[in-house]
Amino acid sequence: MHYFAQNLTFFLHIWKIFRNFAAKSCKDMSKSLKDRLDYLIALISEFAAAHHLSLQQAYLYLQRYKGLDFADEFYDVEHTLSFDQAVEDVTLYCKRMGGVIA
């Protein structure tokens, strides 16, 4: 049950991301919005793998230190980079915002 509760919490956070992006965009989910969400979810996964974190830990860290805001704001550039470079960029940004993962 504890595992289910943790994953439910994580997916509720992901839903919160979706809601926030949908509010910024048009009412229906456009292809560009779907692409952006797919990218951010993949970035969370790559960040988790690179730093040996669970998906939930990675999401919470990126949310706390504004890494997801950074990735969203600079999506037009970041999504053209390799995931290794994007993870490095987000890691450095989070560190500047007070994070301790290097």
Strands (E), the chain: none
Would you state the pLDDT for residue 19? 66
For 13, 27, 67, the CA distances from 100, given in Å and listed in that order, are 22, 37, 13
How far is the C-alpha of 47 from the C-alpha of 28, rounded, in Å? 29
> Which pLDDT tens digit goes with each residue over 16-59?
666 666 666 555 557 787 788 889 989 999 999 999 999 889 99
From CA 24, how far away is CA 82, in angstroms rounded? 26
Kindly list the distances between the CA atom of residue 45 and the CA atoms of 23, 28, 30, in Å, as whole numbers in the listed order: 24, 26, 23
Is 52:91 a contact under the CB 8 Å cutoff? Answer: no
Q: Is residue 12's pLDDT more than 50?
A: yes
